[in-house]
Amino acid sequence: MAFSHDLIHSAARVYAEALLDLANERGNVDEIEGQLKDLIGLWRSQPAFLGLMTSAAIDDDARRASLRRIFAGRVHEIVLNLMLVMNDKGRTMLLGAVCEAFFRLLDSQRGRQRVYVTTAVALSDELRAKLSQEVRRIAAMQPVFEERVDPAVVGGIVVQIGDRVIDTSIRLRLRQVRSTVRQRMERHLHDAGQRFMKDIA
């Protein structure tokens, strides 16, 4: 069954809200968050698990049996039940979106702001601290960074705060951070060049 983008987000939010409500009632939100992080890690890194959850060639009974065999006793019952209910509804392919929706809801509940940062080189602790300070000023929330390194990034750094587009004034305030990243890139390239020259000398 094909789902539109809006339907995916709407359905994922329904499941995520129900899961967060249960976790709040039982007082084990941190445990559930940790297990969902493990699941999203499997979703992204293990083709076999992704195939189990998304393949139309696997019937519901076989998938249900596999989920019980793999996860029973390894995850909390409400996490396993979530996957089993999604299986019964034919929506296991939405598991990744449900996990992401849960994280967003929990961020909101705890006054956190998810910030997606793509840099040409890995952020140093100093740069992360500067960026954290700026995000707290902009969003008045505690930032939770999702970091990715992409050497092709123009300008050294791209920042997305939640779903909002960063406007010109924010870009100007981030210029210092961007400049520091660029300088760090230049030092990295210079040091690499020096090591290369020593190796061939």
Residue ranges with strand state E in 2-154 = 112-119, 142-149
Query: What confidence score (pLDDT) does residue 170 get?
Result: 47
Residue ranges of domains in the chain, CATH in brackets: 5-107 (1.10.520.20), 111-200 (3.40.30)
User: In 3-state terms, what secondary structure has residue 73?
Assistant: coil
| Torsion 182-183-188-194 (CA) sign | positive
| Cα(81)–Cα(129) distance, integer angstroms | 39
The four Cα atoms 182, 135, 15, 64 give a dihedral, to 10 degrees, of 30
Q: What is each CA distance from 177 to 36, 131, 197, in whole angstroms?
A: 32, 7, 30
**Residue 168, pLDDT score:** 35
Residues 24 and 87: their CA atoms lie apart, in Å, by: 24
pLDDT for 182 equals 65
- Condensed to tens digits (0 to 9), the pLDDT of residues 48-103 reads 999 999 999 999 999 999 999 999 999 999 999 999 999 999 999 999 999 999 99
Find, among 172, 12, 7, 169, the residue nearest to 82 by Cα.
Answer: 12
- Provide the β-strand partners of residue 167: none
Report yes or no: 99 and 43 within 8 Å, Cβ to Cβ. yes
Position 113 scores a pLDDT of 84
What residue ranges of the chain have pLDDT lower than 50? 165, 167-170, 172
